[in-house]
Structure 1
């Protein structure tokens, strides 16, 4: 049976079990790598973190039944503080680190101290044994350098013109007015953008439908069941994933998260009139500044998009509230000490799974004022709450040695889409604000996101 979002009971059980499973996997990978002397060390002073046992976890079941993962984590944070260990049956343990003060080692520790372990084994059937976690660490680092080099700002410029062209061509097919599922439309568009940038216009022009179908089959393999049983052919989504991988040799890993962030950005803007108006006004000002309204042609789309500071912080605030990865997990290969904001010190033992719950760290109240509210101005020049909070206060794209190399590319894609939409259409959200589907490893807006549109007086970018 496939795991579905409609089953609250299975959702509660899966979230409880996944912590145990991830810890068990990490312990297996971490212990094999730990030096014998590290394994023998014990934490006498300072003490280990406070432990959340199974009895305490039972009190969280109501929130889990509602599918409210942030509320569950928030309860633990409020009760136990910024460092605590979840113990499953007293055997498997995962230590949670919340906030910038206790996150430095998690994000900056050396590979010999902090490791992914075997936690991402489930991605191997998706992407193949030749890339990512299907290869040894040295090869994976070299592959990472290749991607990082390709996505540096200087090289990113060459992708922006094709992005903008795909955006303009796609929305040119919309009528004067109508109703669309924003989630479906942006998924299609981002497939076109990534296909154009990664495969070329000629390939996508003849293979778009096939690529869309294959990608959906691979994306369907990203579910909780694939974490537990990544190789079994008994799960239908695993079989479809494997067949699609054999035919699709280029996997667009950025599409998954960029689509969701683009939809969340639209849903947030269309339910916050103040920031929607500010973003539209910024578009008008930039267009008039460059004289585009009089028919001039933009020759530097990269610079044009870089001027959109209001739109940038709107996207950034969306990512704070809806991070692509709600939690990042590592394995502690050696024990280490953390010091909390309150001055408490704890020793995290070697072999523990470490978890950084970004969905909570991005909402700590002593860094973010009214953290539950959508307020892009918190990143504006007069507040800059993330900078005031210090390093690792904002970790939607990870941090330290494990920062996402595609951050700038993702911002460019989303800016290219929403700058065009804001300039050229009046939009209205018809659906209720979407709930989060927490049954997916990459949480996404649940269901359709229906939007009505009406064309404005055209303000082109080229």
Structure 2
């Protein structure tokens, strides 16, 4: 009997069944297939251990999405550092710990791809032709173009601008109004995204673009943020309201950038060192001679600000909450800040970028916050060619995904004793640098080649975040402005982490009570 005849026979048999029987088969068939597939997968000695699941296609998505670090730890205890789980139809191979960082971040470009893993997630948010919607070598050059605005000389110019923006926010935001009130309450989930976008736009994009930003523009970036969820990772477009908000926000922000770019082009008002916009308009020609279009420049600007938005809004929210539980640590920060200012015989307005480097406790608070609350809990790559897991017999097939979680390592007792305790002083005794001093240049400047450290808050390898020093400048200036102008305490219980997006924000409301200091500039 031929295959076609066999198919016809099966279809004929199914046609004779009652509706109830057909529905039962339709429901049961995926479960049976899933169980058989898992059984076959488990029999193969060349496959990593697979986390069992009951619901077809969904796999372990719910457990992973709600508490990823707890899920990883449970799987590690059963299967070891290397295991696989199914996430909405995709097989994710996880490798935990520093060896996993090395494997994922430093795998060969021809074997794994961040672009293939993320482009359907990021392209609707950033736009076409930039970040992951282009060949990797072009992304490396885009990072080089953007780094022109991330120099030490630039940071020296940014510090007073960031401070001025925070002070303006303290003076005018309804939750603060320090010129009129001596105390009040605020929610970090509202204040920190707004402060972050205002300070980043003022420093990176310049005064002219900052004037176009207001609370509604900050909301547009919040709507863009909603495009980063596990569901978006699988489905880039669905007829849902958060998708529509994402698309409207992308068009509005992109058109705002485009209008300014066109205006400067038409008038010739372009100054190389004024802001990142002008810098990209002048220096954005790839090594093959192709120039970025103005639309691609606008899209890259969205990507640059979004990257900083995630890190700084998340990190500043968390360090304010932790410090709200530790008034004695706030006082130590205040005394460290006053000590630096006393040497200058000045006030907060005299604090500059070089002074930020003289305040170890401030930097350790940021470092400890990044350890406990890595903005991204998972970093993924798509496997392009069959990949052997080092020192094992396991082979990861093409089409599967690799997953590394520096956030898991940074919150593990194995590498950080009392990992659940917010303790900035631990960094007085820990060398956070990579264990490998060798550097490599992927096209955007030399970075450490080694990624086997348990502490990697900014990732590693060719996709390492280029904004690390900008983040420390921005966060240090924001924190010093808070400390100098007010004291604050936690209202209610310390919030849990919200893992429903791919950014680890606090669950709301996340409120603090503030009291104006006598030293306040307002």
TM-score (norm 1): 0.79
User: In structure 2, do the counterparts of structure 1 residues 116 and 156 end up closer, same or farther at CA, with 3 Å as the change threshold?
Assistant: same
The offset of 1:420, in angstroms, is: 1.2
The offset of 1:337, in angstroms, is: 4.7
Mapping for residues 383-422 of structure 1, pairs under 5 Å: 383-384=430-431, 391-422=452-483
Indicate yes or no: 2:431 matched with 1:425: no
One of 221, 245, 249 as aligned partner of 2:250: 245
One of 232, 257, 278 as aligned partner of 1:226: 232
CA RMSD in angstroms comes to 3.2
The 2-side partners of 1:49 and 1:236 are apart by: 38
SS in 1 for 2:512: strand
The 2-side partners of 1:350 and 1:65 are apart by: 22
Mapping for residues 207-226 of structure 1, pairs under 5 Å: 207-226=213-232
The offset of 1:440, in angstroms, is: 1.0
Partner deviation per Cα, 1:420-447 (whole Å, 9 max, x = no partner): 1112211111131111111112121111
The offset of 1:161, in angstroms, is: 2.3
Mapping for residues 143-182 of structure 1, pairs under 5 Å: 143-172=142-171, 173-174=177-178, 175-182=181-188
The offset of 1:223, in angstroms, is: 2.8
The offset of 1:202, in angstroms, is: 3.3
1:287–1:459 CA contact under 8 A, matched in 2: no
The offset of 1:273, in angstroms, is: 4.2
The 2-side partners of 1:69 and 1:427 are apart by: 31
**Corresponding position of 1:359:** 407
The offset of 1:211, in angstroms, is: 1.8
The runs of 5 or more residues in structure 2 that have no matched partner are 1-33, 35-43, 172-176, 255-300, 437-450
**Corresponding position of 2:332:** 278
The offset of 1:301, in angstroms, is: 1.1
TM-score (norm 2): 0.70
The offset of 1:52, in angstroms, is: 2.6
2:323–2:329 CA contact under 8 A, matched in 1: yes
1:320–1:394 CA contact under 8 A, matched in 2: yes
Indicate yes or no: 2:108 matched with 1:110: yes
**Corresponding position of 1:25:** none
2:167–2:481 CA contact under 8 A, matched in 1: yes
The offset of 1:416, in angstroms, is: 0.9
**Corresponding position of 1:78:** 77
The offset of 1:65, in angstroms, is: 9.8
**Corresponding position of 2:17:** none
Indicate yes or no: 2:392 matched with 1:345: yes
The offset of 1:87, in angstroms, is: 5.5
The offset of 1:297, in angstroms, is: 6.0
**Corresponding position of 1:258:** 312
The offset of 1:206, in angstroms, is: 4.6
The offset of 1:278, in angstroms, is: 2.8
The runs of 5 or more residues in structure 1 that have no matched partner are 1-19, 21-42
The 1-side partners of 2:222 and 2:414 are apart by: 41
SS in 2 for 1:418: helix
Length, aligned pairs only: 406
SS in 2 for 1:230: coil
User: In structure 2, do the counterparts of structure 1 residues 347 and 386 end up closer, same or farther at CA, with 3 Å as the change threshold?
Assistant: farther
2:47–2:396 CA contact under 8 A, matched in 1: yes
User: In structure 2, do the counterparts of structure 1 residues 66 and 432 end up closer, same or farther at CA, with 3 Å as the change threshold?
Assistant: farther
The offset of 1:96, in angstroms, is: 0.9
The 1-side partners of 2:130 and 2:434 are apart by: 35
User: In structure 2, do the counterparts of structure 1 residues 367 and 88 end up closer, same or farther at CA, with 3 Å as the change threshold?
Assistant: closer
The offset of 1:77, in angstroms, is: 1.7
**Corresponding position of 2:509:** 448
**Corresponding position of 1:27:** none
**Corresponding position of 1:198:** 204
The 2-side partners of 1:269 and 1:367 are apart by: 24
1:378–1:385 CA contact under 8 A, matched in 2: no
Indicate yes or no: 2:353 matched with 1:292: no
User: In structure 2, do the counterparts of structure 1 residues 86 and 186 end up closer, same or farther at CA, with 3 Å as the change threshold?
Assistant: closer
The offset of 1:262, in angstroms, is: 0.5
The 1-side partners of 2:86 and 2:186 are apart by: 46
SS in 1 for 2:454: coil
User: In structure 2, do the counterparts of structure 1 residues 171 and 297 end up closer, same or farther at CA, with 3 Å as the change threshold?
Assistant: closer
Larger relative contact order (Cα-Cα within 8 Å, sequence gap ≥ 6): 1
The 2-side partners of 1:61 and 1:112 are apart by: 29
**Corresponding position of 2:364:** 313
2:61–2:87 CA contact under 8 A, matched in 1: no
Partner deviation per Cα, 1:59-84 (whole Å, 9 max, x = no partner): x9899399333212111122222222
Indicate yes or no: 2:100 matched with 1:53: no
SS in 2 for 1:199: helix
The 1-side partners of 2:405 and 2:97 are apart by: 9
2:186–2:513 CA contact under 8 A, matched in 1: yes
Q: Which structure is larger by alpha-carbon Rg, 1 or 2?
A: 2
User: In structure 2, do the counterparts of structure 1 residues 379 and 336 end up closer, same or farther at CA, with 3 Å as the change threshold?
Assistant: farther
